[in-house]
Amino acid sequence: MKNKRSNLLIVKRSCHLNDNNNRSFIKRKKKAILRAADSIIAEGGKTLLAKILKGSKDKKVLQLGLDKNPSYGFYKGVKLDDVLQKIEWMIDYRFLEIKYFRKLPLITFTDLGWLIERDQYTDEFINEWREWIREGKQNPDMSYLKDRNREMILLLLDKVKESGDQSFIPYLELWAKVDYKKVKAEIQYTIDVLKSNEPVSHSLAEKRQDEVNEALKGVIPHDIRMKCWSCTRRFTWTIGEQKFYREKGLSYPKKCKICRGKGFGYS
């Protein structure tokens, strides 16, 4: 009886560990797709994104330097159609969306997707700096941080402050020399915080991580109840209709099907 119980415990623990590992791997896959998308936001579509993830040697991929993306080849060996299905899933769960620019359907981040991506991209910058420190790199060209998304830059500086790592100061000083006045002021403040050696509260970092973990769940596709602007009746906007509207680059319907049928178009 003892052996049966112990075996049962081992099986339960094993399943629990596998569940945790599986959840971790799923998160990694979502982040990999978002990281690949970052290189072509509002510039490329689903097929180009799939080619980056597959590690394609396509001429356009190589010409644009997309083979340098950290997620290049993440789905190497997977069929292109299967990679496209994964991208569709990311769109369905509101990590990515399609927007039309000059009638071209291009990939963009949703608010959820951008929250996750800027968090992992800033970690990437910090890890790069740590690698430079290990290598003894003294005068890197910091202009690569100029003209970046301001929201992401402020997040990067927050993370540098939270690290308390004074070895980042030389890089911050080099960066301040090449960036704009407002960013320079934020960099100087970060340097001052690091030099002060005062303990930094990590409550904001913990809150931020909770937000990222919540965002990684995505938004499960579901029917939406809406109110018709014309007849004021309630109607259901189905998952299938939502997908159709997104693919066509249409905004959400303001009228029910009956009222829409009385006019033209999809409004």
pLDDT tens digit sequence for 92-138 = 999 999 999 988 999 999 999 999 999 999 999 999 999 999 999 99
Architecture of the domain made up of 27-109 = Orthogonal Bundle (1.10)
Among 9-18, 77-86, 106-115, 117-126, the minimum mean pLDDT is found in 9-18
Q: What local confidence, expressed as pLDDT, does residue 21 receive?
A: 62
Q: What local confidence, expressed as pLDDT, does residue 248 receive?
A: 84
Instruction: Tell me the whole-structure pTM to 2 decimals.
Output: 0.84
Residue with tokens 């960066």: 175
Can you tell me the distance from the alpha carbon of 10 to that of 137, in angstroms, rounded to the nearest whole number?
Answer: 48
Q: Within the chain, where are the H helices? A: 2-38, 46-54, 59-63, 80-92, 111-135, 150-163, 169-178, 181-196, 203-215, 239-247, 257-262
- Sorted by where each begins, the domain ranges of the chain are 27-109, 113-215, 224-262
Task: Tell me the average pLDDT of the chain.
Answer: 90
- Candidates 47, 23, 15; CA nearest to 217 is 23
- Candidates 62, 60, 33; CA nearest to 49 is 33
Average pLDDT over residues 205-220: 96
Asked if pLDDT for residue 18 goes beyond 70, the answer is no
What's the Cα-to-Cα distance from 67 to each of 80, 88, 106, rounded to whole Å? 16, 22, 19
Q: What local confidence, expressed as pLDDT, does residue 1 receive?
A: 47
β pairing state of 224-227 and 104-109: unpaired
Confidence class for position 4, pLDDT limits 50, 70, 90: very low
Q: What local confidence, expressed as pLDDT, does residue 235 receive?
A: 94
CB 38 within 8 A of CB 108: no
Within its chain, how far is the Cα of 187 from the centroid?
25
Q: Which residues pair with 96 in a beta bridge?
A: 109
CB 105 within 8 A of CB 249: yes
CB 99 within 8 A of CB 42: yes
pLDDT digits (tens, 9 = 90+) for 172-202: 999 999 999 999 999 999 999 999 988 888 8
